Amino acid sequence: MHSQSFTSLKTFSNILRSAALQSNNLNDGLALLRLYARLHWDNISGHFGDDPLEVAFFERWRDRPLKSSQPSLPKTNFLHIATQTYEQGGHSRLLWRLIEGLSKHGTQALLVTDPRRSNHIVDFGGTVTRLKGKPAVRAAAIVAAGQKADTILLHIHPDDSAAAFAARILRSQGKKILFVNHADHVFSLGSGAADVVLEICMTGWKTTLGRRTAQAQSFMGIPIIDENYQVPDHSASRHGPIVSMGGGGKFSPTPGLSFPDFLKTLLPQIKNDVVLIGPSPKDAWWSEVTGAFPGRIQLCGPLPPKQVEDILKTASCYVDSFPLDGGTAYPQAAALGVPCFAPNAGNAAGVSPTDALRFETINEMQNALVSYINGGAYPFDLKTIQKRLLMDFSGTAVTDRVMSAARGCPIPAIEYLPPLGQRDSDYNARRWAEQNRVQVPKRIWRDISAPIRLSLYFAIREADLPTSIKSEINKMLATQWI
């Protein structure tokens, strides 16, 4: 795994790490810490956390007076802190479902640390605060806002340095901090700042245990279904569309796991169309297969939840995204009674009982899918899976586990999940190593000050890095100001 890309990543990483620790003001330090985290978020190399860095940074700046015009929020039982919020996607769905569940247990407030115009807020009964300003201003505002909160839940992006730093200050003041580990497959700031890390899958649990710092871990799981859920019968025709769903990157092909190649061999054997929710024609890997089968593959982009559910109800079956699977989308389809197919049984993450609905290989999955479309029996016991979703992954079940963790009583994993979650922590790191390319972060350079840009330029110029990476970094330093 120690390829040229790994060596280059480590070199750039060390430059940012040192600069963050040596920064002379909190704004620069937090901006560099965010850039460091984003570098490792974009490059899943097996490096999942750096608590020594976060602790050293905290110790250096913890006694600095934080000035903020943000008033303390009204006393609330639960303060949710999120970097951004969306209408689509599993991470935001988890946030909204958890807010819905906790509404029965007390008052709530939501603080968005780095909002965008496109961000979506559900019909939320509590106070909603959107922050703005430099990182130090946002960190100060988070600390001020959290003074009257009983429990603070971090739903933050992996690179939200201001929130991760503020959480350590709040915890040092005696606040209860819960870290929702929703991006458990990548590097993340903040897990060591919490009293408890709330886990959503078995691979995430193993990764936190071995590669991150956590005071305690507690299984939360993903809330998949509503309280009024009744196990449905899926009555759609087997001639309906084959549906899959996920962000565009979840379908980015890797050797041995290519969704476009799968469709090339599948579509000649069946007459069904394919509907892909999330992917865009802008992703180059779709051009060959869509050209080979004109009109049979719809690339819909992101869709609102109601429209997604309507499409799923018409589906002949559902195929999980790969190489990156759908932790929320796959069980969502199963809960609706849609016959589900997925590869990677031996490398499943152990998210929910739907990981039992998997085949070892793409070829085995494809053969079973074609047989089913042509009138064969569905090879799994979907009813049992739906009953387990109702028992263990309803909003109430997940909320009860969160409440237990907040009371200081962590919950172990559900007994049937560890055997399903055999994926090791380096599953995605091996994919990254095969690509042999360092992804230089984009769009988050705006808080890097001019003096820091200059010092980074000189550090990069002297570093043992490929010319192509130096050029890309220098382009970001010169052009990314907003």
Does 88 score more than 70 pLDDT?
Answer: no
The β-bridge relationship of strands 297-301 and 76-82 is unpaired
**DSSP codes of every residue in 258-304:** -HHHHHHHHGGG----EEEES--TTSGGGHHHHHHSTTSEEEEES--
Render pLDDT for 214-236 as a digit per residue (tens, 0 to 9): 999 999 999 998 777 776 777 78
CB distance 261 to 227 below 8 Å = no
Does 290 score more than 90 pLDDT?
Answer: yes
Coil, strand or helix: which one is 318?
strand
Q: Which two tokens stand for residue 377?
A: 């029996």
Render pLDDT for 335-389 as a digit per residue (tens, 0 to 9): 999 999 999 999 999 999 999 999 999 999 999 999 999 999 999 999 999 999 9
* Rounded Cα distance, 377 and 298, in Å: 27
CB distance 126 to 144 below 8 Å = no
pLDDT at 118: 67
pLDDT at 251: 95
Render pLDDT for 237-250 as a digit per residue (tens, 0 to 9): 899 999 999 998 89
Does 453 score more than 50 pLDDT?
Answer: yes
List alpha helices for 328-439, DSSP H.
329-335, 362-373, 382-392, 395-406, 417-420, 427-435
Distinct helix (H) and strand (E) counts, the chain: 18, 12
pLDDT at 403: 98
Q: What's the DSSP call for residue 254?
A: B
Domains defined for the chain, CATH in brackets: 4-46+426-479 (no CATH), 76-223+394-420 (3.40.50.2000), 242-391 (3.40.50.2000)
Q: What's the DSSP call for residue 450?
A: H
Omega before 74 cis (within 30°)? no
Using 50, 70 and 90 to split pLDDT, how confident is the model at 1? very low
The per-residue b/e assignment along 123-135, b for 16 or more CB within 10 angstroms, e otherwise, is ebebeebebebbb
pLDDT at 78: 97
Nearest to 45 by CA among 427, 325, 425, 432: 432
Q: What percent of the chain has pLDDT over 70?
A: 98
Backbone angles phi, psi at 379, to 5 degrees: -85, 0
CA dihedral 275, 278, 283, 288 (to 10 degrees): -10
Tokens 């407030």 locate to 109
**DSSP codes of every residue in 200-248:** -SHHHHHHHHHHS--S-EEE-----B-TT---------TTS-EEEE--G
Render pLDDT for 97-126 as a digit per residue (tens, 0 to 9): 899 999 999 999 999 999 887 677 777 788
CB distance 321 to 244 below 8 Å = yes
* Cα 473–chain centre separation: 25
CB distance 122 to 99 below 8 Å = yes
Q: What's the DSSP call for residue 299?
A: E
Q: What's the DSSP call for residue 176?
A: E
pLDDT at 2: 62
Q: How many of the other CB atoms lie within 10 Å of CB of 290?
A: 18
Higher local confidence (pLDDT), 15 or 324: 15
* Cα 272–chain centre separation: 31
pLDDT at 254: 87
* Rounded Cα distance, 140 and 222, in Å: 31
* Rounded Cα distance, 457 and 418, in Å: 47
CA atoms within 13 A on the CB side of 153: 26
For all residues of the chain together, what is the average pLDDT? 93
Q: How many of the other CB atoms lie within 10 Å of CB of 323?
A: 21
Coil, strand or helix: which one is 284?
helix
Element holding 22 (H helix, E strand)? helix 4-22
Total-model pTM: 0.93
Coil, strand or helix: which one is 371?
helix
Q: Which two tokens stand for residue 380?
A: 């799994």
Q: Where are the beta strands (DSSP E) in 68-157?
A: 76-82, 108-112, 127-130, 149-155
Render pLDDT for 250-265 as a digit per residue (tens, 0 to 9): 999 988 899 999 999 9
CB distance 107 to 126 below 8 Å = yes
Q: What would the mean pLDDT of 286-296 be, rounded to a whole number?
A: 96
Burial (CB count within 10 angstroms: exposed 0-12, middle 13-18, buried 19+), residue 59: exposed
Strand partners, 217: 197
- What's the chain's Rg over C-alpha atoms? 23
Q: What percent of the chain has pLDDT over 90?
A: 83
Dihedral sign, Cα of residue 121, residue 123, residue 124, residue 130: positive
